[in-house]
Each structure stands twice: as C-alpha cells, then as structure tokens.
Amino acid sequence: MQYDTGKHCVFYHRYHIVWSTKYRFKVLTGTLRLRVRDICRQVCRENEVEILRGVLSSDHVHMFVSVP
C-alpha cells in the first residue's frame, strides 16, 4: 500500500467513480468520447486529482482516482 503525505498528515484516499448516461443510451462515441476524456483529465488536473485508471465505454465512464 502506498501512502501519500501532506505537511502534517499521511493519507490513502482512493475512489472509484462511475458516471452513466441517462437510460444507458450509447452516446459516448466518436468526437464526444474524446471530448469527455479531455474534460475529465482537465478537471482532475485542475483539482490535483491523479487518475490511476480510467475506462470510457459507450454508455458509462469508470475512474479510479487518488485524491489529496
């Protein structure tokens, strides 16, 4: 297990986040799929969240992230 450290703490925060489209419609394809991926990366970068693993399907998104 790899722990992260702050100035006054030691922590291990990992979250599994799943988003799905309404009624599980398969709309995450083509350029929309690339745009969703870029937005997820941008938001995580802005909030200092590290994406450990991510999967984009045509109807849902899985992300396993480490949050400081």
Q: What is the pLDDT of residues 16-46, one digit of tens each?
A: 999 999 999 999 999 999 999 999 999 999 9
Is the pLDDT at 1 greater than 80, yes or no? Answer: no
- Closest listed residue to residue 20, CA positions, set 62, 67, 65: 62
Strand partners, 62: 18, 55
- What is the percent of the chain with per-residue pLDDT over 90, rounded to a whole number? 87
First to last CA, the chain: 16
Is the pLDDT at 68 greater than 90, yes or no? Answer: no
Class level of CATH domain 14-66: alpha beta
Cut 0.85: pTM above it? no
